[in-house]
Amino acid sequence: MSEQEEKSVFQKKISRRKLLKLTGIGTVGAIIGASGMTGVLSAFGMNPFEDDDETVENKIKFYGKHQSGIATKGPEHVYFVSLTCVAKSKKELKELFQLWTKQSAELMNGRLIEQAKSNTLLPPVDTGEAVGLNASHLTLTFGVGPSLFENKALGLQSMKPTELKDLPHFPKDQLDAHYVGGDICIQACADDPQVAFHAIRNLVRSGRGKVTMHWSQAGFNSYEMKHKEKRTPRNLFAFKDGTGNVNVESSKDMKEVVWVQPSESKNWMIDGTYLAVRRIQMHLETWDRTALSGQEETFGRHRDSGAPLGKMDEFEDMELDRKESGGRVVPDTSHVFLALQVKDRMLRRSFSYSDGINPNTGAFDAGLLFLSFQKHPKQFINIQNSLGRNDKLNEYITHRGSALFACFPGVTKGSYLGAELFD
């Protein structure tokens, strides 16, 4: 019998699920112990996880060089969660990411993580609130925080990148410990908020005993449509948020700004990126009492068009040195002026949030979940430091949450999330 025929017979006799149950049994167990489950399956041309289903409506690919949800355009809803790792060993954590790989591929195919059993006396594996909904362009992005590498039980200390540190304290920060840091993060984005929440709910549920929830935040974006394309979304101050962003369709820009290249970090970070997270409270009532001219001077742009002050089009050059009547057209205390004082760039991914009413003030508890992706944390840090105490926008916002995560590269078929870190 030829080698190809042997593989075919093996594939017919043993399904993916059956093979996964053979760990530690007889010859297969010995092989798995020596080379790992992924190696055995790959040797027989089998994928231990789930494949991307190209026939699914509103589908984003799970497998690829980079994780989804980073360069994916136009995300409408987000559910972000920061987790604390309680796994007792590297092996346990590795198994969790392998499980999350299979489940993520299923979820992004618009399916449940597992179909309901016929025995209705047991709780269903999947919570089921996404039944009947399509994939809704769901993306899932995973990252690990600096604190994960401080857990000696996991034995990952030597794998920590030197640049993966807690973000520094910035001027005007008033951080709430409930919204700071985390060992692991998951970002779920989708067209439907229930699809995003369902994904996070089930991934956290399947990780019970290995992770607990630290903090989370839901957010949303709405887009003006022009020529069937999404335009720049607006934040809750009604200003366009993301004008001049990195072009995610430019491989050159993404390599220069977002994706970690060889020798730029630890090897397991190549084709990954760093995620900075800031939960920013917006004082809407104070803003609403400010004259429109004052609002525009705060941002350095016209509200309705998004154009630089004194110009007509959103995407015109800022020309920060322009002067009129002896003064700058774009104030040197405006948000955009200060942000452009450094050469660093980053890929912005911001979402508005509204969490009811602050019981102490009777004001809206609302703001911005600011997310940015960059190949090195210093890009975000340099821009934030440039804003500093002089940013006029500080009169209307307060930074309450802060975290930094290293996001894995993408997953190749037959492998799993974070394989480069664990193997």
Judge whether residue 35 has pLDDT over 90.
no
pLDDT surpasses 50 at 31? no
Q: 366-409, pLDDT tens digit by residue?
A: 999 999 999 999 999 999 999 999 999 999 999 999 999 999 99
pTM of the model: 0.89
Mean predicted confidence (pLDDT) in 343-352? 97
pLDDT at residue 167, rounded to an integer: 98
Please answer whether residues 150 and 158 qualify as being in contact, where contact means their C-beta atoms are separated by less than 8 angstroms. no
Cα–Cα distance for residue pair 357/329, rounded to 1 Å: 37
Considering only 199-208, 222-231, 261-270, 368-377, which range has the smallest mean pLDDT?
Answer: 222-231
* CA gap 422, 419 in Å, rounded: 5
Q: Which of 270, 100, 85, 101 is nearest to 184 (CA)?
A: 85
Q: Is the dihedral of CA 127, 110, 354, 246 positive or negative?
A: positive
259 CB-near residues (< 8 Å, 6+ apart):
66, 271, 272, 273, 375
Least confident of 158-162, 210-214, 322-326: 322-326
Q: DSSP states of 334-361 as a string?
A: SHHHHHTTSS---EEEEEEEEEEE-TTT
Enter the tokens of residue 191.
């067209």
Query: How many CA atoms are closer than 13 Å to the CA of 146, on its beta-carbon side?
Result: 17
Mean pLDDT of 321-348: 95
Pair 410, 418: CB distance under 8 Å: no
Question: Between the CA of residue 66 and those of 35, 70, 107, 410, what are the distances in Å?
Answer: 25, 8, 18, 4
95 or 115: whose pLDDT is higher?
Answer: 95
What is d(CA 97, CA 417) in angstroms, rounded to the nearest whole number?
A: 6
Of 145, 103, 154, the closest CA to residue 404 belongs to 145
Q: Which residue has the tokens 């994916």?
A: 72
Q: Which of residues 413 and 42 earns the better pLDDT score?
A: 413
More confident residue, 242 or 21: 242
Question: What confidence tier does 48 reach under pLDDT thresholds 50, 70, 90?
Answer: low
pLDDT of residue 39: 47
Q: What CA–CA distance (Å, rounded) separates 410 from 416?
A: 9
Q: What size, in residues, is the chain?
A: 423
SS3 413: coil
| Residue 14 reports pLDDT greater than 60 | no
Q: CA 117 to CA 114: how far, in whole Å?
A: 9
Segment 109-134 mean pLDDT: 92
**Does the pLDDT value for residue 252 go beyond 50?**
yes
Is the predicted pLDDT of residue 1 greater than 70, yes or no?
no
Q: Write the DSSP symbol of residue 157.
A: G
Mean per-residue pLDDT of the chain: 90
